[in-house]
Amino acid sequence: MKRSTSYIHCLRLRGWRFVLALIAVAGIIITTGAFGVSSSPALAASLPCDIYAAAGMPCVAAHSTTRALLSSYSGKLYQVKRWSDSATTDIGTLSTGGYANAAAQDSFCSGTSCTITIIYDQSGKGNHLTIEGPGGNGAQDYGANAAALPITAGGHKVYGLYVSAGVGYRDNSTSGVAKNGAPEGMYMVTSGTHVNNRCCFDYGNAETNSKDNGNGHMDAINFGTECWFSPCSGSGPWVQADLENGLFAGGNGSNTSNKGNSSAFVTALLKNNGQTTYAIKGGNAQSGSLTTWYSGAEPNLGGYSPMHQEGAIVLGTGGDNSDGSVGSFFEGVMTSGYPTDAADNAVQANIVSVGYSSSISFPVTGTAYRFTNVNSGKVLDAVNCGTANGTAIDQWASLGNTCQQWKFASVGSGKYTITNVNSGKVLDAVNCGLADGTSVDLWSSLGNLCQEWEVIPTGGGHYELVVENSGMVLDDQNCVTTNGTPARLWQGLNNTCQEWSIAP
Ligand code: AHR
């Protein structure tokens, strides 16, 4: 095909800008040690959206609670809302192109808890994410607790976005995002240790009416352990493509070459030219390069080739607001145009240069703690000091006995069993229930996810206790404060009835 002179000139310009971007990224790699994590990484000269712009596929969305994603950005990263008085404030960067000012959040939320209410778009397109409304398969969502995911990035304390069941963000009226078979790319940095097999921890393109509008109406990265098209390879979690009515590991869905990514920080990448081809990549966001899990034809199952994207942006749920999934989100972008592999590699190198790392120091394994509900002031208690499987759990005034003491034992990746000191039995989600209102009891240790818990800081020395099988939190039933009020499981509501102080 004959190309116009201006088109060739444009390509040359793009080529030179891309070479310059690669030189900048190479400089970062040399400064920080080849793909290593420096103890005090310098700010990157060329950030993900600089790299994609230089390669000719600019960002049309850029979201992060941890850092700027283009070097000229000095605006707002996210908004938090205080539980005590519903006041809001915006959290920005410490410097142009720099890391989030977590100290501003700590100061504003001191003495109370905060919810993340907006994640601002840094691309200039105004595609800000707010708390997701009701959809075809999910009620009004909740915002994430702002203090739930403290980590380190670039040597600075920052917060990631902790998505539990019922948490989701969305923009159904975007600008510049691919529609109806247009090419696009996207990545997110997430975690391989905070996942489940429920639908659907997604970031990317979704329906503008929050309903399942049919095959090809979504083009979003999915990350989790839900194997939609059997067989899958191992137990995941996998980077997959949520193209609507299916989480595709590659090809027509099943792709055992997609081996999964379980590192503490994961780069998850998806791109789709909208007409014939899509690709899935994953990598360790702390070191090394991306693995291409799939690159080839779009599914030939009807509706996916060409694609029918609608151009909304979803984060944390499925296209129809299916919201049983959990996950962590640190940063992500969407591009206009199908990114080159060279650009993807340069973005991965920049992500690695950030030096993302966890900062978990609580709870201490083996210490006997009491869990005091912040609303009721009562402690978590085994009813009548029962020791049998099925013993119910309630809240009672502190009696100083071992029926009200609990010990954590690590099962890895920041998860714990919680053993009642008197009975030796563990805290358990009854029948592995997934519904709001599921009871908790004592049971012999079974080694399953219904007995594994995460201890999530919510600010002010308080915590949520999240059970792994459902992502629901331990809750003071109906916020009642009398002795004997059951503790049970409910989706996160951002109130003090779901907060516990945990002390010896
Ligand atoms: O494709 C998987 C999920 O199916 C989508 O996210 C959701 O819209 C539908 O329920």
Q: Over the stretch 298-338, which tens digit does the pLDDT of each residue have? A: 999 999 999 999 999 999 999 999 999 999 999 999 999 99
203, 329 contact by CB (below 8 A): yes
Cα of 199 to ligand 1 centre, how many Å? 7
Q: Does 429 fall in a domain?
A: yes
The verdict on 122 and 41 lying in the same domain is yes
475, 347 contact by CB (below 8 A): no
pLDDT beyond 90 at 25 = no
CATH of residue 91's domain is: 2.60.120.200
Number of domains in the chain: 2
Q: Does 497 fall in a domain?
A: yes
320 carries an active-site annotation: yes
pLDDT confidence band for 175 (50 / 70 / 90): very high
Strands (DSSP E) contained in 161-265 are 161-163, 169-171, 184-190, 202-206, 219-224, 238-242, 247-248
The verdict on 442 and 317 lying in the same domain is no
Q: Which of 228, 243, 247, 308 to mutate to test the pocket of ligand 1 (most atoms within 8 A of CB)?
A: 247
pLDDT beyond 80 at 78 = yes
* 91-96, Cβ contacts within 8 angstroms, sequence gap of 24 or more: 91/65, 93/67, 93/68, 94/156, 95/43, 96/68, 96/71, 96/72
Q: What does the DSSP 8-state code read for residue 157?
A: E
pLDDT beyond 60 at 31 = no
Cα of 201 to ligand 1 centre, how many Å? 10
Q: Does 44 fall in a domain?
A: yes
pLDDT beyond 50 at 176 = yes
Q: Does 330 fall in a domain?
A: yes
63, 119 contact by CB (below 8 A): yes
Task: State which ligand 1 atom lies nearest to the alpha carbon of 137.
Answer: 10
Q: What does the DSSP 8-state code read for residue 67?
A: B
CB atoms within 10 A of CB 160: 26
Question: Can you give the pLDDT at residue 234?
Answer: 97
pLDDT beyond 70 at 7 = no
Question: Can you give the pLDDT at residue 44?
Answer: 44
Q: Does 386 fall in a domain?
A: yes
The verdict on 352 and 381 lying in the same domain is no
Per-residue pLDDT reduced to its tens digit, 349-391: 999 999 999 876 678 787 889 999 999 999 999 999 999 999 9
Q: Which of 358, 389, 412 is the last residue of a domain?
A: 358
The verdict on 389 and 302 lying in the same domain is no
Question: Can you give the pLDDT at residue 439?
Answer: 98
The verdict on 254 and 396 lying in the same domain is no
Q: Does 151 fall in a domain?
A: yes
The verdict on 301 and 221 lying in the same domain is yes
Task: State which ligand 1 atom lies nearest to the alpha carbon of 246.
Answer: 1
How much is the average pLDDT of 152-170? 94
Mean of all residue pLDDT scores within the chain: 90
pLDDT confidence band for 32 (50 / 70 / 90): very low
Cβ 200 under 6 angstroms from ligand 1:
yes
The verdict on 200 and 87 lying in the same domain is yes
The verdict on 121 and 270 lying in the same domain is yes
Cβ 372 under 6 angstroms from ligand 1:
no
Question: Can you give the pLDDT at residue 170?
Answer: 98
Q: Residue 403 belongs to what domain range?
A: 368-503
At 231 the three-state DSSP class reads coil
Q: Does 363 fall in a domain?
A: no
pLDDT beyond 50 at 452 = yes
Cα of 218 to ligand 1 centre, how many Å? 8
Q: What is each CA distance from 106 to 89, 97, 146, 214, in whole angstroms?
A: 11, 21, 9, 43
Task: State which ligand 1 atom lies nearest to the alpha carbon of 244.
Answer: 1
pLDDT beyond 60 at 160 = yes
The secondary element (H helix, E strand) that includes residue 336 is strand 327-336
Per-residue pLDDT reduced to its tens digit, 194-245: 899 999 999 999 999 999 999 999 999 999 999 999 999 999 999 999 999 9
Cα of 320 to ligand 1 centre, how many Å? 6
The verdict on 242 and 331 lying in the same domain is yes
Q: Which of 358, 393, 421 is the last residue of a domain?
A: 358
Q: What does the DSSP 8-state code read for residue 144?
A: P
Question: Can you give the pLDDT at residue 267?
Answer: 98
Closest by CA position to 237, among listed 202, 181, 194: 194
Q: Does 176 fall in a domain?
A: yes
Q: Which of 313, 337, 358 is the last residue of a domain?
A: 358
Q: Which residue has the higher pLDDT, 414 or 276?
A: 276
The verdict on 177 and 291 lying in the same domain is yes
CATH of residue 486's domain is: 2.80.10.50
Catalytic pick from 132, 202, 212, 244?
244
The verdict on 352 and 376 lying in the same domain is no
Question: Can you give the pLDDT at residue 68?
Answer: 98
pLDDT beyond 70 at 19 = no
pLDDT confidence band for 147 (50 / 70 / 90): confident
The verdict on 215 and 301 lying in the same domain is yes
Question: Can you give the pLDDT at residue 412?
Answer: 81
Catalytic pick from 141, 212, 320, 323?
320
Within 8 A by CB and 6+ apart from 361, the residues are: none
323 carries an active-site annotation: no
